[in-house]
Every structure is written in structure tokens, then in C-alpha cells.
Structure 1
């Protein structure tokens, strides 16, 4: 079981890395697009949050399907 935990921990670390990379590389673009479409800061904040929540859920469901 020890090896399984190691693989799971490594997978979680990789997911953290990927999520951080996505946020660093795309957060400004996503927020600017949301703001340009909504013309309202509060709505743009909501859209921004929803985009990244959906991204995380998509990654999580894919991980479950593979496991």
C-alpha cells in the first residue's frame, strides 16, 4: 500500500503544479474577458470563479474515471 500512497501523493503534487500553472497563465485573460463581457466587476468575479471551478471539476471527474 505504501507504493500506492506514493503514486497518489505524486499525482496530487502534479495536479497542484498544473492548477497553479493554469491560474498563472490564464487568470488575467479569463478575468479580462469576463469583465469585457459583463461590464461589471462583481459579475466578472463570479464568472471568473465559475470558470475555474468548472475546470477543477472537469479535472476531478477525469481523475475519477481514470482511477
Structure 2
């Protein structure tokens, strides 16, 4: 088999894998940023509430990860 054909397939597989990772980040970053902002807002009102809120979000996130 031609070396350039093998290299092209590997490059295509790498691009597909990179697109999957980028898509995963694009879906998860806004939710994480929102959780951080809510926790910061709770902390700004009453510091222990911020830690409780952040912990609750982490527990929810851990539960949804397969």
C-alpha cells in the first residue's frame, strides 16, 4: 500500500478524533461556566453557600458522567 495513502487515512482519523473532542468541549463548557457563576454568586452573598452550591453541582456532574 502506498505510504501517502496510509498517512492520509491516519490524518483523517486524527481530524475526526479532534472534532469529537472539540464537540464534547463545546457542549460541556457553557454548563460548567454557568455552574461556576452560580456558585460564585452564592459565595458573594454568603461564602459557605458558595461551597455548598459548588459541591452540589459537582455531585450532579459526577452522577451524569457515564
TM-score relative to the length of structure 1: 0.49
